[in-house]
Amino acid sequence: MTDAAELRAAVRDFLAEHDPGGDRLEFLRARFDAGLAWVNYPAGLGGRDAPRELQTVVDAEFAAAGAPDNAPSRNGIGLGMAAPTILRFGTDEQRARYLRPLWTGEEIWCQLFSEPGAGSDLAALATRAVRDGDDWVVEGQKVWTSFAHKAKWAILVARSDPDAPKHKGLSYFVCDMTDPNVEVRPLRQITGEAEFNEVFLNGVRIPDSQRLGEIGQGWQVAMGTLMNERVAIGGGNTGRESGMIGVVAREWRDDPEVRTPGAHDRLLRLWVEAEATRLTGQRLRQQLAVGTPGPEGSAVKLAFSRLNQEISGFELELLGEQGLSYEDWTQRRPETVDFTGRDPGYRYLRAKGNSIEGGTSEVLRNVIAERVLGLPPEIRTDKDVPWKELPR
């Protein structure tokens, strides 16, 4: 088995042959081909079949050498959700085609899951995929799609069998976002920004070779994607006092005027909760090192959402009138999602989306109740009813 010493030596050998100050893209492509992109992936697909936790060893060696990274925040959906789904459910041809340009950031990915009539109940989606020879013809509307205006590819769930119950009639595809029958429109958020979009699929033809998993297996494939998404949002590899608690802690230290005994107690409680959530995320990543994410990822994402909203609200209270200012409401199309950027007003408003994106808090509570705590499931009258017979 590959160990840390072997990986450090491999990075040094690589750097001896490739100038980290040279062409960025060529450097990243070579790093992927050398199996130093994501070390836990198979050989030939950017990895070395090494333990996942050794990725930090490789990243630290490259960072110390001043090497460019692959700007992971620009392709978070691709790296955090599409890649593990392709690795698990894709064919050899699909893995060879998609993973390298995904990792280098040459091809950005988005996620076509949510719909106006099926936001929290993904299995109720109505976008249709109808088989036509070697292709599927897709018609429908998706919403809240981050990066759709920049994406080359999308992971897409569509209904391929309306006669089956809603969870069993879905299939999972890779959709070309540059197809002329894909229409992307910006959606402006409460922050003034337009991070995400609504997407209209107007008779988009998708070759069957771009299907992930078996026909009708879309729900199972999507669940794997969503588990990875919740880990990516709530269980990121962050340091102590990072994120919103770090922002507020710095304000507390820098400005004695904001300090009161009551605020001191609240800050301490929030700090402890933030640290507990961070450490839970670390434990979850260790679980990932030996398998696929479980429902515990839902608990981490739920805790992150609640805590981020509470801390951003506490920041506004702490700053008083200063916290109510808002620098600019001009519509922007940001390159990355930023939970801690700009001013306190922005951070407060942006945090409102945390309990919706990546699975609503209501859905996550159901997942925790049923799959972690073993409580009786909700009564579902539509469980064995053909989707086409359900009221909409």
Contact 193, 334 (CB under 8 A): yes
Contact 110, 102 (CB under 8 A): no
The per-type count for the chain, helices as H runs and strands as E runs, is 12, 8
For 107, the 3-state DSSP assignment is coil
Where b means 16+ CB within 10 Å and e means fewer, 185-197 reads eeeebebebbbbb
Residue 124 CA, distance from chain mean position? 21
- Rg over alpha carbons for the chain, rounded to the nearest Å, is 22
Query: In whole angstroms, what is the distance from residue 382 CA to residue 392 CA?
Result: 12
Query: In whole angstroms, what is the distance from residue 158 CA to residue 169 CA?
Result: 9
pLDDT < 50 regions, the chain: none
Query: In whole angstroms, what is the distance from residue 348 CA to residue 324 CA?
Result: 10
The 8 Å CB, 24+ separation contacts for 123-126 are 123/166, 123/167, 123/170, 123/219, 124/166, 124/387, 124/390, 124/392, 125/157, 125/158, 125/159, 125/170, 126/159, 126/392
Of 92, 73, 75, 95, the C-alpha closest to 84 is 95
What pLDDT, on a 0 to 100 scale, did the predictor assign at position 371?
84
Query: In whole angstroms, what is the distance from residue 191 CA to residue 208 CA?
Result: 40
Q: Which parts of the chain are beta strand (E)?
A: 109-112, 128-132, 135-146, 153-159, 170-176, 182-187, 196-207, 211-212
Where b means 16+ CB within 10 Å and e means fewer, 316-343 reads eebbeeebeeeeeeeeeeeeebebbebe
pTM equals 0.86
Q: pLDDT tens for residues 291-320?
A: 666 677 788 889 999 999 999 999 999 999
Of 196, 252, 224, the C-alpha closest to 80 is 224
Of 2, 109, 105, 104, the C-alpha closest to 52 is 2
What pLDDT, on a 0 to 100 scale, did the predictor assign at position 303?
93
Of 78, 65, 70, 6, the C-alpha closest to 32 is 70
Phi-psi region of 216 (alpha: psi -120 to 50; beta: other; left: phi over 0): left
- Told to judge if 257 belongs to the known catalytic residues of this protein, a careful annotator would answer no
Query: In whole angstroms, what is the distance from residue 128 CA to residue 137 CA?
Result: 8
Output the six-digit token pair for 107. 């091809």
Angle, to 10 degrees, between the axis of helix 296-319 and the axis of helix 243-254?
A: 20
Name the active-site residue from 193, 195, 229, 315. 229
Query: In whole angstroms, what is the distance from residue 295 CA to residue 228 CA?
Result: 10
What pLDDT, on a 0 to 100 scale, did the predictor assign at position 364?
87
